[in-house]
Amino acid sequence: MQRDEAIRSGAMAAQNIMLAAEELGYHTSPMIGFDLDQVGDLIRLPENHVIVMMLAIGKGAESAKPRGGQLKLEEVVVSDRF
């Protein structure tokens, strides 16, 4: 239960960090695909701590590539069924 709460709290903190960084003109991105155990060893993470995520924060070297269009509302919203 404590681990779940740590992950929830860490995710909310990361979201706020990302929003604050964006407001200050920085670009942010949550990172996946790293080895949690290796990072834990590298930073000497105590046994009673957990890595929630890593954030990349910085100034972009170039503009982001355009994204695809927005999905139609009826493609993503479900009403009265699962």
pTM: 0.69
Q: Is the residue at 41 inside a domain?
A: yes
Q: Is 30 within 8 Å of 18 (Cβ atoms)?
A: yes
Q: Is the residue at 78 inside a domain?
A: no
pLDDT digits (tens, 9 = 90+) for 40-70: 999 999 998 999 899 999 998 888 788 888 8
What amino acid occupies position 78? V
Q: Is the residue at 76 inside a domain?
A: no
As a whole number, mean pLDDT of residues 23-48 equals 93
Q: What is the pLDDT of residue 1?
A: 72
Q: What is the pLDDT of residue 20?
A: 98
Q: Which domain holds residue 13?
A: 2-61
What amino acid occupies position 58? G
Spatial separation of the C-alpha atoms in residues 62 and 28, rounded to whole Å: 14
Q: Is the residue at 70 inside a domain?
A: no
What's the DSSP call for residue 4? H
| Residue 8 pLDDT grade (very low, low, confident, very high; cuts 50, 70, 90) | very high
